[in-house]
Amino acid sequence: MKQYRLEQAEINSFAVQQVIYSSSDIEMWFDWNSRLNDTKFTDQCFWIMCDDDRIGGIVKLTDT
C-alpha cells in the first residue's frame, strides 16, 4: 500500500520549483528574482510525498 506524507521543504528549493512549475507566468513577463521572493513569504512549505517520490508541494498557512 502506498504511503503518503508531507515533508518539510527547504524554502529556496521550494521557491525555485514553484516558480518553474506554476502556470501563473508562462510568458515570463515578471522578473525571476521577484517571483522567487514572492514565493518565500513563509517557511511553511511542504513536499507531498508518495513513498519516496515527490508528487507535489503545498504552502500550508494557519487554518488552511
Question: Higher-confidence residue: 9 or 61?
Answer: 9
**Cα–Cα distance for residue pair 9/43, rounded to 1 Å:** 8
Q: What is the pLDDT of residues 15-58, one digit of tens each?
A: 888 877 776 655 656 676 777 777 777 888 999 999 999 999 98
> Angle at CA 32, nearest 5°, toward 27 and 35?
90
- Output the pLDDT for position 31: 72
Cα–chain center distance at 7:
11
- pLDDT number for residue 55: 95
Whether residue 51 contacts residue 2, with contact meaning beta carbons closer than 8 Å, is answered with yes
Residue 18 CB neighbour total at 10 angstroms: 19
Q: Where are the domains of the chain?
A: 4-59
pTM of the model: 0.73
The values of phi and psi at residue 3, to 5°, are -110, 120
